[in-house]
Structure 1
Amino acid sequence: MAEAAAKKQTTWDFIKSLRDRRVLVMLFLGAGAGLPFFLIFDTLSAWLRQSELSLQTIGVFALATLSYALKFVWAPVVDRVKIPFLEPLLGQRRSWMALMQVLIVLGLWLIAGSDPALNLGQVALLAVMVGFFGATQDVAIDAWRIEVVDETFYGTMAAAYQWGYRIAMITSGALPLVLADHYGWNFSYAIMAGCMIIAVGATLLAPREKAARPPLRYTEDMAARPALETAEWIGRLLLILLGALLAGSGLAANATFLNAVMGWFGQSAEAAEAFKATWEARETGIFIQFPAVIAGLGLIALACVPLPGAPTRPGVYLRRAYGQPLGEFFGRFGVRFGLLILALICMYRLSDFVLNLMNPFYIDLGFSLTQIAEVRKVYGVVASLAGISAGAWAVSRLGILRTMVIGVFASPLSNLVFIWLATQGASMAALYGAITIDNFATGFAGTALIVYMSSLTAAGFTATQYALFSSLYAIFGKIIASQSGRIVEGSARMAEAGGFTALFRPMFAGLPEGALAKGAEIAGVAPVSLGAGYATFFVYSVVIGVIAIALAFMIARRQPEIDARAEARKGELDAEATEARPS
């Protein structure tokens, strides 16, 4: 990422770039990426509830989108496997995009022809399949987005993707409900399946990505032993599935799938209920979930380790398929700089991820659900789009590194506005102001991180590396965010007892009547103490951001050294390729 050599755009160049065909295609592909996610994760729950299913059953359906957190597991397949017939016509990335989009259309169409009240298992299976196809489509879209343009366009393409994604969020959240109200859920989902055809059209209109390094021939020099290798492939893939199950159950804080597997081995209903309660415990579940995530990732890594002293084709293939993208990254940046960069990716948006209890916060302040929806879900989207656009403009004018450094300040500093909001009670003007600042900053920071991660990938490994980066910060954020409620309530009780968090209590002495009262009653503290708990939590979110700021400055200060190392590594690889080329 040698920005000195990168051509910066003027503001007029940036505006003109919005007319580029690739940007329009990216807009529709972003919508195609968001549509299946929200139809499965959010809208489907309304259909299930109208089918008179329990909230517990509906909650389990949220696990259908777990594929999005675990997509790095099969990302090497998208990098390496060529789809017969489609790949010669469309290229590596577009062939995967088109296949997944057709399968998503088919999956949504089959859901449209189902009745959850009569065929709940069928609907659940189809939802999981649509989630898997959607996550795989995301891997291919991200790789195409990076490979089809040079770095000066990264910001514009990232913005177009996010614009499309938010259009899908609004469309899939409103249109299916209106259609279902008038014509029924089956007709509604059939129409939404048809909407995905727009993404198929965008894929066909998209230009081919730049030619990447051809797939490496991993095992051609090894003797084939079909019978033994089949057994070994089954064993290794089962280990990967077990690792994904453990990691996914930990990330989702849900033991449903684990209990189903253990039920096959004779686990009793009483033991399953006790295990589920322990795993999903609000206060202590994290101490089981976090080790489960680590153990799951460890099992996936173990499945890729060749047998000691007796290398086999499956072991060598998996080791290289997963190991080479990581090896290329650390070979380019070195272990020290590589770990520093990965730490920044983990921490960059942590200040945003921990704010996973904002709806309860707004309700505690006294806002109605309609007011929250109006400001957060409607106006908030507009503020986010403005922040995304500003981030894209900054990349074009200032470059990737400077935008990344600016973006790392945005999220933690914007969180301070919520301390002020907590003192205002149910003031609509204050809520509009806070959402404006926070959503604009979040949109800017999100664009900055997407572009920065895109710049870290290498040709031939784009899908795997970007999937690893995006899963890395999502996994880390999910684990840390699980403790947000505990921090608020613990800090409130500490303030009530006169602990150090009580220093925030005077800020809430003039709280409007009724503000924080109901939440304080639930927590068993006074409203001013709950206010102090929220203030402590928001300060905590800022402190997390300060760590990311420090990491960003460390990287920015050493960027010339990082670029020099990456350039030297590129020269070494080019020399090796020249020597290996037949004369």
Structure 2
Amino acid sequence: MLSKQQGAAQSWRQALASYRDIRLLFIFFMGCASGFPWVLIGSNMSGWLNDAGLSRAAIGYFGSVFVVYALNFLWAPLLDRVKLPLLGNRLGQRRSWILLMQSMMLLATLAIAFTNPAQSLLFTSLLAMAIAIASATQDVAIDAYRIELIGDDTVRVAPAAAMGVIGWWTGYSLPGYFAFANADQFGWPAVYLGMAVLIGLLMVFTLCSREPQSQREQLQRDAVARYQSRLGQARTAPYLVWLSVTVLEPFAEFFRRNGWQLAILIISFVFLFKVGEAFLGRMSIQFYKEIGFSNQQIAE
């Protein structure tokens, strides 16, 4: 009995000790960066559109920008293959893409702060779409960052997943609280200026974080060699090899690993889940407003 208690105590100590890994802190803040844009184009935007007097239908259609999150797998392979000039050499493959997307979100957020959705709904929706595209692309880079940072360390896989989820909800809930708590007093444009400052802080963290090591480039060279042997030395072969390794090979590997039936089920589930969330999840703020809740009450 005593040995079982000692074993349980030791396992608890080992579990807690695993959270002292500095890599989990990086993953936590990357999770915050992943969840934060949903405040910008989700709850905050729904609240602002409602306060601006837009109809329920307009607010619902505005949520269509979230469909981008269900489609980001289409350009995800490019983030493995395309190396950004200047940033790629200085920051590495993952952090360079993350920083670029955060820069785009910063500019779009600043632009939203100086717009009036009631008078320029189309322009506001285009800015929201830009944030959604940048955020969905950032999510791809952050997922790759987390996977490569942990690597084959199976002991840290579960804590890393937990810290990523905790970070996402922290990045979504805390800024959302402060936004609604201050919207009535300072106005939504000032709130979005404050959100831009938070994006700046996330960019600073991205610069300070560690770039993970991986075998990505070696695997790509091996794939290039395989496709070159198949396509031969034709004039168009280099372009076909690049396209095959960059776009086709990731999807082919996904279907080989899971099989056609399971792979299609996974893609269909993710797509349908995201589409439903895009339209229905955005209406909760509208519902709270219609039954009489103030911005301060929604924050609480």
Same fold flag (TM > 0.5): yes
Residues 126 and 173 (structure 1 numbering): CA distance in 2 closer, same or farther, change over 3 Å? same
Does 2:193 align with 1:190?
yes
Q: Which has the larger radius of gyration?
A: 1
Residues 165-208 of structure 1: per-residue CA shift (max 9 Å, x gap): 11122124321112211111110011011112232222222222
Map 1:137-148 → 2, pairs under 5 A:
137-148=138-149
Map 1:271-310 → 2, pairs under 5 A:
none
Map 1:31-180 → 2, pairs under 5 A:
31-149=32-150, 150-180=153-183
Map 1:188-337 → 2, pairs under 5 A:
188-214=191-217, 215-216=220-221, 217=224, 221-223=233-235, 313=239, 317-331=242-256, 333=257
Residues 105 and 209 (structure 1 numbering): CA distance in 2 closer, same or farther, change over 3 Å? same
TM-score when normalising by structure 1? 0.41
Does 2:28 align with 1:16?
no
Select which of 177, 180, 184 maps to 1:181: 184
Q: How far did 1:78 drift?
A: 0.5
In structure 2, what residue type is equivalent to 1:324? Answer: E
Is the helix fraction higher in 1 or 2? 2
Residues 324 and 201 (structure 1 numbering): CA distance in 2 closer, same or farther, change over 3 Å? same
Q: How far did 1:120 drift?
A: 1.6
Q: How far did 1:21 drift?
A: 1.6
Higher relative contact order (CA closer than 8 Å, sequence separation 6+): 2
Q: How far did 1:312 drift?
A: 9.0
Residues 222 and 115 (structure 1 numbering): CA distance in 2 closer, same or farther, change over 3 Å? farther
Residues 167 and 111 (structure 1 numbering): CA distance in 2 closer, same or farther, change over 3 Å? same
In structure 1, what residue type is equivalent to 2:270? Answer: A
Please give the alpha-carbon distance, in whole angstroms, between the structure 1 residues aligned to 2:98 and 2:233.
32
Residues 116 and 99 (structure 1 numbering): CA distance in 2 closer, same or farther, change over 3 Å? same
Please give the alpha-carbon distance, in whole angstroms, between the structure 2 residues aligned to 1:70 and 1:327.
17
Please give the alpha-carbon distance, in whole angstroms, between the structure 2 residues aligned to 1:161 and 1:22.
11
Residues 39-87 of structure 1: per-residue CA shift (max 9 Å, x gap): 2022201101111111111111101121111000110111100001111
**Which residue does the alignment assign to 1:359?**
none
Q: How far did 1:153 drift?
A: 1.2
**Conservation of the 8 A alpha-carbon contact between 1:43 and 1:172:** no
In structure 1, what residue type is equivalent to 2:235? Answer: A
Residues 109 and 321 (structure 1 numbering): CA distance in 2 closer, same or farther, change over 3 Å? same
**Conservation of the 8 A alpha-carbon contact between 1:25 and 1:205:** no
**Which residue does the alignment assign to 1:475?**
271
Residues 229-264 of structure 1: per-residue CA shift (max 9 Å, x gap): xxxxxxxxxxxxxxxxxxxxxxxxxxxxxxxxxxxx
Map 1:386-397 → 2, pairs under 5 A:
none
**Which residue does the alignment assign to 1:338?**
259
In structure 2, what residue type is equivalent to 1:323? Answer: L
**Conservation of the 8 A alpha-carbon contact between 2:46 and 2:59:** yes
In structure 2, what residue type is equivalent to 1:473? Answer: F
SS at match of 1:82: coil
**Conservation of the 8 A alpha-carbon contact between 1:41 and 1:64:** no
Residues 342-371 of structure 1: per-residue CA shift (max 9 Å, x gap): 47xx4xxxxxxxxxxxxxxxxxxxxxxxxx
Q: How far did 1:339 drift?
A: 4.6
Q: State the aligned residue count.
A: 257
Percent of residue pairs identical: 34
Q: How far did 1:139 drift?
A: 0.2
In structure 2, what residue type is equivalent to 1:165? Answer: W
Question: Which structure 1 residue ranges, 5 or more long, are not aligned?
Answer: 1-8, 225-310, 347-468, 482-583
**Which residue does the alignment assign to 1:28?**
29
**Conservation of the 8 A alpha-carbon contact between 1:94 and 1:203:** yes
Map 1:442-461 → 2, pairs under 5 A:
none
Q: How far did 1:213 drift?
A: 2.8
**Conservation of the 8 A alpha-carbon contact between 2:112 and 2:127:** yes
TM-score when normalising by structure 2? 0.77
Q: How far did 1:472 drift?
A: 4.7
In structure 2, what residue type is equivalent to 1:10? Answer: S
Residues 319 and 187 (structure 1 numbering): CA distance in 2 closer, same or farther, change over 3 Å? same
Q: How far did 1:480 drift?
A: 9.6
Question: Which structure 2 residue ranges, 5 or more long, are not aligned?
Answer: 1-9, 278-300
Residues 18 and 340 (structure 1 numbering): CA distance in 2 closer, same or farther, change over 3 Å? farther
In structure 2, what residue type is equivalent to 1:338? Answer: G
Residues 399-438 of structure 1: per-residue CA shift (max 9 Å, x gap): xxxxxxxxxxxxxxxxxxxxxxxxxxxxxxxxxxxxxxxx
**Conservation of the 8 A alpha-carbon contact between 2:36 and 2:172:** yes
Q: How far did 1:318 drift?
A: 3.7
SS at match of 1:174: helix
Please give the alpha-carbon distance, in whole angstroms, between the structure 1 residues aligned to 2:200 and 2:161.
22
**Conservation of the 8 A alpha-carbon contact between 1:100 and 1:134:** yes
Please give the alpha-carbon distance, in whole angstroms, between the structure 2 residues aligned to 1:478 and 1:36.
15
Please give the alpha-carbon distance, in whole angstroms, between the structure 2 residues aligned to 1:51 and 1:75.
36
Residues 476 and 204 (structure 1 numbering): CA distance in 2 closer, same or farther, change over 3 Å? same
Please give the alpha-carbon distance, in whole angstroms, between the structure 1 residues aligned to 2:70 and 2:191.
28
SS at match of 1:68: helix
**Conservation of the 8 A alpha-carbon contact between 2:18 and 2:155:** no
Map 1:417-436 → 2, pairs under 5 A:
none
Q: How far did 1:23 drift?
A: 1.0
